[in-house]
Amino acid sequence: MGKDSALVDQFVRLSMNSANTFRHTDYLGGANGARIRFSPGKDWKSNEGLDKTLKALEPIKKKVGDGLSWADLIVLAGPAAATRLGAPKDFPFSHD
**30-64: pLDDT as tens digits:** 888 898 999 988 998 999 999 999 999 999 999 99
**Crossing angle for the helix pair 5-20 and 70-84, nearest 10 degrees?**
130
Pick the closest to residue 31 from 92, 80, 74, 81 (CA basis): 74
CA 48 to chain centre: 13
| 80 secondary structure, DSSP code | H
81: how many CB neighbours lie within 10 A of its CB? Answer: 23
pLDDT at residue 2 greater than cutoff 50: no
pTM, two decimals, is 0.82
34: how many CB neighbours lie within 10 A of its CB? Answer: 19
